[in-house]
Amino acid sequence: MNPTPILLILGLLFVFAIAGAALGIRMAEVPSISRRILPFSGGLLIGVAGFWIVPEIAQRYGWAGACLGVVTGFVALWTIDRYVYPVCPSCSPVHAHEHGACINRLHGFAWPLVIAAGVHSFFDGWSLGIAQGQGFEDLRAAFLIGVGVHKIPEGIALGVLLLAATGSPRRALLGCVITQLMMPVGGLAALSLAKAFSPNWTMGFLAGATGFFFFLGYHAIHSSYRERGGAITVMPALTGAIGAAALRSFLPGI
């Protein structure tokens, strides 16, 4: 398998994420702006998973297998988020940090955030890498869009939080770079191990990754709803989901 195309894609997504982080650092004084796009990206992510990826997996391995894989991935990520550590703390500042006295600084929060967001980025890259396997050409664009739509809002929120945690734009940007570098690491790991997996195992990983997409989309929408209410959350989320369905209908060959 030629790794060049996926490396170019991972590099481009890395640039998007860092650009979002730099923007988040710049607009840290008004963090509410950075959260306005979260429900839209969440709805779009759910739409891509539901209208693009799940039907393709079901067509190959049946709806029962597709749904089982998706539910397994969703429950696994929910369990980690609920009982271990927030899997996407950059999307949920309120969930991740509740130091009542820390208004301007999130003391001691930088490295836990970097580690958790780095693991999240690793699995973003892993999902893209697994989708490059032979026979999964129809799923590549869907996984690219699914990861891509989450990178800029994720980067913005991550920049805002790391600036609050470090007090230094340079350190905040460095933390963002460290976390997003885990994405190409995950992609390369998936490519390196691709030959060790049978097509059934690979499809199982893709179904689980789709469950990750559903969870991250739900997580973004729920975080916005909890913080800003339904009026500002529901319409952007629906717009994102409907937009994904419309894009799929206009581009059936992707």
- Tell me the per-residue pLDDT of 48-99, one tens digit each, with 9 for 90 and over: 888 888 887 888 778 998 899 999 989 988 898 788 766 665 555 444 444 3
User: Would you state the pLDDT for residue 105?
Assistant: 47
User: Would you state the pLDDT for residue 134?
Assistant: 62
CA angle 160, 126, 40 (to 5 degrees): 45
Domain that holds residue 230: 4-28+37-250
Residues 5-62 pLDDT 10s: 777 888 888 888 888 788 777 765 555 555 566 687 788 778 888 888 888 788 877 8
How far is it, in rounded angstroms, from Cα 238 to Cα 248? 15
Q: Which residues lie below 8 Å from residue 111, measured CB to CB, with a gap of 6+?
A: none
User: Would you state the pLDDT for residue 126?
Assistant: 83
User: Would you state the pLDDT for residue 70?
Assistant: 92
Q: 209-234 burial string, b = 16+ CB within 10 Å, else e?
A: bbbbbbbbbbbbbbbbbebeeeeebe
pTM above 0.75, yes or no: no
Residues 115-166 pLDDT 10s: 777 877 888 888 788 777 666 666 777 777 777 777 776 777 777 778 767 8
User: Would you state the pLDDT for residue 190?
Assistant: 84
Question: What is the pLDDT confidence band of residue 177, given thresholds at 50, 70 and 90?
Answer: very high
- For residue 190, the Cα-to-chain-centroid distance in whole angstroms is 17
How far is it, in rounded angstroms, from Cα 230 to Cα 9? 35
Mean of pLDDT values over 227-245: 82
Res 112 pLDDT > 80: no
User: Would you state the pLDDT for residue 93?
Assistant: 46
Query: How many domains does one find in the chain?
Result: 1
User: Would you state the pLDDT for residue 97?
Assistant: 42
User: Would you state the pLDDT for residue 67?
Assistant: 93
